[in-house]
Amino acid sequence: MARYPDFSRYNYHIQQVLGKNTTGGRVTYLASHLDSQQTVVIKQYQFAKIGHWNGYRAHQSEIRVLRSLNLASIPRYLDSFETPNGFCLVQEYKKADCLGQVKGLSPQDIKQVALNILEILIYLQQQNPPIIHGDIKPDNILIDRDKGLKIYLIDFGFARMGSSDLGMSSTIRGTVGFMPPEEMFNLQLTTASDLYSVGTTLVCLLTGTPGQNINQLIAPESYQLDYQHLLPPIHPRFRRWLRKMTAPKASDRFADALTAYQALESLTIEGKGTVLPWPGLDQYSLKSVVVGVSLLVAMALVAMTGLMYWQGRTVRLLLTTKDCEGCYLRHLTLRQGNLVGANLAQANLKDSHLKDSNLTKADLRGANLSNAYLKGVTLTGANLEGAILQGVNLIEANLEGANLAGANLEGAILNGANLSQTNFQFANLLNAKLKYTRLVKSNLEGANLGGANMEGANLEKAILPDGSFSQ
């Protein structure tokens, strides 16, 4: 029989442990009030047991925040009391499941979850002063599927109130992988900071990524979440909305929860009815293993067919709307495609085949085009700032007036390409093949041309890497 603390002197009886945070010295109990028999949640901060009292501030802050709130989606503050080794916080109990443990949500369900979370944030941000939760993640969100995906937000231990709390702090608070970059670098927090955590939470739900593994999807240099290839069939506009939510720079996100809610509310989510993530197999007998392997093969074939169908559908949507920001289009084959003015910013087009396609004035900022076959492609006036074009084949392509500032073109093949008036400022052209290219009036200032083959290239009136002008 489990031994729980005796809180009878405080008029509470412990029923079971709901969770533990060993590092933070916190234990959460399900309990009941001895007089009213009301079921409650008690969070015990065991400061003395872990040898420090840093959590005291979090305890006092949480009480201060909860006392100021009155929303059904946030468990109410009921009581607090001191114990020999710390303090206890008593809250209303909500009979709901932890979002991190819930399976089988469809994309449409996940959209509704997002809207419900944002509604809570709207309430918090409309307080005077506004409140930043500071630790939004699947484990701090409860969901009641019997009440229409009702959402509850818990654990306000890292919450901040007002401009003084929203400023820089000497202590990083939050959960790695879910905290926004500005929190990691101890910068000013804003009403956009919680949005990053919401977006990351949605990535977990959509991709089936466990919360403890989300950090593995973060690019170490850009702090951009790399999850596009893991997403199920969802509408490109929702991909774009999600990418804006998880933008590393706060200024690139929605300004606040209300703006994010309004942008999401009218969006269509493709793939309605699809269950996420795929259910696991839990058989151990030889017969079950055989059945399980057969099922996995069948699932793989279905997934492959579904992927081909979805990519074809995405291509049709792309050709119709010219809008596929952040889309996963790796290995795309689209010869002579008309993509004039298309929005492909941050899209993954690695290993794609776009021979002779027209991408005039297309937005390809930050797109991944490494090893793509772009022979004869027209990119006149296109924006490829920061794009990855490592090893790309651009033989005889037309990039006149394109913006390739900061692009990675290492090992790219551009022989015979028209690069007149193209901006290559600080681009990486290491070992690139630029034979007989036309670089008239192009800007190569700061570009890395180490090992580049520029035999027969026309550099008339071009700005060279050292900033000088060629004759």
Task: Record the tokens describing residue 5, joined without a space.
Answer: 């603390």
Compute how many other C-beta atoms are within 10 angstroms of the C-beta atom of residue 170.
5
pLDDT value at position 233?
83
User: Per-residue confidence at 173, pLDDT binned at 50, 70, 90?
Assistant: low
469 or 259, greater pLDDT? 259
- Name 436's Cβ contacts closer than 8 Å, sequence gap at least 6: 415, 416, 455, 456, 457
Question: Is the pLDDT at 450 greater than 60, yes or no?
Answer: yes
pLDDT value at position 55?
58
Q: Is there a common fold for 8-92 and 322-471? A: no
Compute how many other C-beta atoms are within 10 angstroms of the C-beta atom of residue 267.
15
User: Per-residue confidence at 157, pLDDT binned at 50, 70, 90?
Assistant: confident
Where in the chain are the domains? 8-92, 97-265, 322-471
Q: Kind and range of the H or E element at 121?
A: helix 107-125
361 within 8 A of 403, measured Cβ to Cβ: no
The whole-number average pLDDT for the span 295-314 is: 49
pLDDT value at position 303?
44
Q: DSSP strand E in 68-163: where?
A: 77-83, 86-92, 97-98, 131-132, 141-144, 150-153, 160-161
β-bridge pairing 97-98 and 131-132 = unpaired
Range with the poorest average pLDDT among 94-103, 105-114, 201-210, 337-346: 337-346
Q: Which amino acid is at 130?
A: P
d(CA 422, CA 432): 16
The whole-number average pLDDT for the span 93-119 is: 93
User: Per-residue confidence at 50, pLDDT binned at 50, 70, 90?
Assistant: low
pLDDT value at position 246?
95
d(CA 467, CA 446): 7
pLDDT value at position 170?
41
Task: Record the tokens describing residue 115, joined without a space.
Answer: 């809207």
The whole-number average pLDDT for the span 56-71 is: 82
Task: Record the tokens describing residue 429, joined without a space.
Answer: 């052209």
User: Per-residue confidence at 168, pLDDT binned at 50, 70, 90?
Assistant: very low
Q: What percent of the chain has pLDDT over 90?
A: 45
User: Per-residue confidence at 232, pLDDT binned at 50, 70, 90?
Assistant: confident
β-bridge pairing 12-21 and 39-45 = unpaired
Q: How buried is residue 427: exposed, middle or buried, by Cβ count under 10 Å (0-12/13-18/19+)?
A: buried
Question: Is the pLDDT at 115 greater than 50, yes or no?
Answer: yes
pLDDT value at position 56?
62
- Cross-strand partners of 68: none
Fold category of 97-265 in CATH: Transferase(Phosphotransferase); domain 1 (1.10.510)
pLDDT value at position 367?
86
pLDDT value at position 278?
39
CA 453 to chain centre: 39
User: Per-residue confidence at 390, pLDDT binned at 50, 70, 90?
Assistant: confident
Fold category of 322-471 in CATH: Pectate Lyase C-like (2.160.20)
105 within 8 A of 279, measured Cβ to Cβ: no
Q: What is the mean pLDDT of the chain?
A: 83
d(CA 419, CA 423): 9
The whole-number average pLDDT for the span 191-212 is: 95
Range with the poorest average pLDDT among 111-120, 227-236, 302-311, 402-411: 302-311
Q: Kind and range of the H or E element at 45?
A: strand 39-45
To the question of domain 8-92 being in CATH 3.30.200.20, the answer is yes
The whole-number average pLDDT for the span 162-181 is: 64
d(CA 395, CA 375): 5
